[in-house]
């Protein structure tokens, strides 16, 4: 059910990082690492599975929205996810 804006103390703008602000130019990242970075966490932060699932809900659309600025690499092993990085 919708909630009135007046019930909140602050309403900052809904700004997301650009790929260049979030990712290092010479590095490739998994969707899991990007999900952590979008929340200001270290890419290797230890988080529980439930939290990781929620963070992925943010990361996957971010990757799709910013696809023109990203490159993708196939997984190195079949049990590993793919990698994303900045286009040069």
State the pLDDT at residue 14: 83
Spell out the alpha helix ranges (H) of the chain.
19-22, 31-38, 49-65
68 compared with 15, residue with greater pLDDT: 68
Alpha-carbon gap, residue 59 to 29, rounded angstroms: 12
What's the per-residue H, E or C state across 10-28? CCCCCCCCCHHHHCCCCCC
State the pLDDT at residue 25: 96
| Residue-range domain boundaries for the chain | 25-86
Alpha-carbon gap, residue 34 to 43, rounded angstroms: 7
- Per-residue pLDDT tens digits for 15-51: 889 999 999 999 999 999 999 999 999 999 999 999 9
Indicate if the pLDDT at residue 7 is higher than 90. Answer: yes
């Amino acid at each position: 059910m919708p909630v009135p804006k007046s019930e909140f103390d602050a309403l900052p703008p809904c700004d997301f990082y650009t790929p260049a602000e979030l990712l290092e130019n010479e590095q490739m990242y998994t969707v899991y690492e990007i999900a952590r970075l979008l929340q200001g966490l270290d890419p290797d932060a230890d988080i529980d599975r439930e939290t990781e699932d929620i963070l992925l809900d943010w990361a996957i659309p971010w990757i799709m929205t910013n696809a023109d600025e990203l490159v993708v690499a196939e997984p190195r092993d079949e049990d590993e996810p793919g990698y994303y990085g900045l286009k040069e």
